[in-house]
Each structure stands twice: as C-alpha cells, then as structure tokens.
Amino acid sequence: MTSGDSIDPPGFRVKGWHVAAGVTAFFVIVIGVDASFAVMAYRTHPGQVSVTPYEDGLLYNQRITQLKAQDQLGWRASAEARPGVLAVAYVDRAGLPLRDLKVSARLERPATEVGRLRPVLREIRPGQYEADLGPMSGAWDLTVEARAPDGARFLAERRLTWR
C-alpha cells in the first residue's frame, strides 16, 4: 500500500446533496402543514365576528352608558337551569325581590346559531320568574332583559347547563 492510496470504509456516507435534500424536505413539510392548517382555520371560521362591525363600534358608547345606568340601579340577577325549566330571580340593592318586571329572554347554543329559543318568563313569586322549556340538555347562553314599570332596564348574560 502506498501513501497516496486511501480506502473508503464501506457503508453510507453523508454527502452535500443529502444535507440539501433533508433541509429542503423539512421546509417543504413545515410549509405544507402550516398552509393546510391556515386553510382549515379560515374555512371553519373566517374571522368575521360581526356582520356590522362599524355599526357595533358606534353603539359601544351606548352600551357603556347602559351598563353604568344598570350599575347604579344596584339590581342583581341569578339564573338557574332546572330540568325543563329556566328560573331567573331579581333582587334590588337591599336584597328585596323586584316585582312586576317585564322579563324577556333568549337562549342560544354557544357554538351555533341553530336552535335559538325565546322563552316566555312569567312571575311565579315576587322577584322569581320562570319559563317551561321542556326537555333540555347541554350548554346554552342566556341573555335576559328586565324592564321595570318606571322604565329601568337591566340586562344579564349567563351560560347555563342542563344535564
């Protein structure tokens, strides 16, 4: 054997094109996965929360004013999901039941617009309002509005779960 002869050991050797192919394959896979996730996300929720975002922004100050007026009333509302029944109770600042309110409600599923309900609430005892709903199950978002005979208005939102 002479000093100029070299013997390559048998087996696999990493060469430049292997590294280039590996790096290229890595980025192709990452970009492909990211692109597919972006397409799936856009198809399931395009990001539009409101159909009228500009008008909603204009009404925001009115909403803040309404919440301040509601806070000054000192009313409190509680809602309960009983089998087949929606129960809402209202009390004033002193904890006394609020009578003779005109109460309207809306029930919606959190994840879909299908199945909206507008139950009719009636006063069964002073400050206690109920609506018969029939068989219910799962989570529902409740928006309930009470109006007093003098025009005072109170809006409350809760998530209720029927089992």
- pLDDT score recorded for residue 27: 98
CB proximity list for 120: less than 8 A, separation 6 or greater: 131
Q: Kindly report the average pLDDT of the chain as a whole number.
A: 89
Check residue 123 and give its pLDDT: 95
Question: To the nearest 10°, the Cα dihedral for 108, 109, 115, 116?
Answer: 10
CA distances from 33 to 27, 29, 47 (A): 10, 6, 20
Class for domain 75-162, per CATH?
A: mainly beta
Three-state DSSP state, 35: helix
pLDDT at 76 over 90: yes
Sequence-separated (6 or more) residues with CB below 8 Å from residue 162 = 81, 83, 136, 137, 138, 140
List of residues 6+ apart from 138 with CB closer than 8 A: 109, 161, 162
The pLDDT of residue 2:
58
Q: Which of 28-32, 53-57, 143-147 has the lowest mean pLDDT?
A: 53-57
Per-residue pLDDT tens digits for 107-133: 999 887 778 899 989 999 999 999 999
CA angle 4, 8, 11 (to 5 degrees): 180
Higher pLDDT, 58 or 4: 58
- Token couple for 1: 């054997």
Q: Would you state the pLDDT for residue 8?
A: 66
Q: What is the pTM of this model?
A: 0.62
Q: What φ, ψ does residue 135 adopt, rounded to 5°?
A: -65, 130
Provide the Cα torsion 75, 81, 85, 89; round to 10°: -10
The predicted pLDDT at position 5 comes to 63
Res 20: pLDDT: 96
Taking residues 82-91, what's their average pLDDT? 94
Percent of the chain clearing pLDDT 90 (strictly above): 58
Strand partners for 89: 78, 128
Position 55 confidence tier, pLDDT thresholds 50, 70, 90: confident
Structural domain spans, the chain: 75-162
Element (H, E) at 38: helix 16-44
